[in-house]
Amino acid sequence: MIQTVSIVGCGWLGLPLGEHLLAQDLAVKGSTTSPGKIPLLAASGIHPFLLSLQPQPAPGQLGELHELLDADLLVIDIPPGVEKQGPSFHPDQIRSLIARLPDSPVKKVIYVSSTSVYPEVNREVDEAEPLAGHDPVSTAILQAEAAVRGSGRDWVILRCGGLMGYNRIPGKYVAGKKDLRTGDVPVNFVHRDDVVGIIWEIIRQDVRNQVYNVVTPLHPKRREVYARNAADLGYALPEYADGPVPDHKVVSCRKLVRELPYAFRYADPLSFPYTPS
């Protein structure tokens, strides 16, 4: 039975996840790399740790890491950082963390992965798609997934699409841009509230040793999403270039809906609620 959860990476997703788990009467520990966020985590009820997860942890942080891993469930939600740190950094991070699990009571690991592991093959893809890594980011994430699978603990890997909602608004990022070529590319989005809800259901239902794509069932075109954001929130529409649709993929969530099962709160990216700041 899960009673204590440790979240490595209490950022845009990890913090509200921790708050949701606290509301379910679980004890929650969480790490951040920002000293300024320690009071925020503490005020929410999360036991905070200031921790920068390195492939070789500094001796001064070993005690903190040991205490953070004193939990029943470990949730890993940290970006791969390939552009800044290089392709081997993130897999080495995860391997270093996994290597410390034998000295901990952790029973299960949930790793927040990404749909970027799938190549742009101009068709639907699901969890059975053969994957070998098609760029440095996908290669790093797949190596991290492999480390989690080989942890000797139960595991769940969640390949999340583009996380949206609240102040993450697709139309904001393209407002007024010119010669945009991706207008007819279908989106693979998911609202943050659904990711939190899915992780809770995985804990509640004691799901083990599965890979799930975490994206909405519906995949409108980018231009449709941008137009809705413009109409609802006043962003300037981008201008589109003529030409063929760029390579893309449509990520299926059928396995998640069927096996978990899970009913999305926000199944259509055209209906995502936002809170612009």
pLDDT digit string (tens) for 12-35? 999 999 999 999 999 999 999 999
CA separation for the pair 199, 109 (Å, rounded): 11
**Would you call 191 helix, strand, or coil by DSSP?**
strand
DSSP string, 131-174: ---SSHHHHHHHHHHHHHHTSSSEEEEEEE-EEEBBTB-HHHHH
CA separation for the pair 212, 127 (Å, rounded): 7
Q: One digit per residue, pLDDT tens: the chain, 277 residues? A: 899 999 999 999 999 999 999 999 999 999 999 999 999 999 999 999 999 888 887 777 888 999 999 999 999 999 998 888 888 999 999 999 999 999 999 999 999 999 999 999 999 999 999 999 999 999 999 999 999 999 999 999 999 999 999 999 999 999 999 999 999 999 999 999 999 999 999 999 999 999 999 999 999 999 999 999 999 999 999 999 999 999 999 999 999 999 999 999 999 999 999 999 7
For domain 4-165+188-218+249-266, the CATH superfamily is NAD(P)-binding Rossmann-like Domain (3.40.50.720)
**What tokens appear for 233 in the block?**
């929130």
Residues 153 and 109 sit within 8 Å (Cβ to Cβ): yes
Percent of the chain residues topping a pLDDT of 70: 100
For the chain, what are the domain ranges?
4-165+188-218+249-266
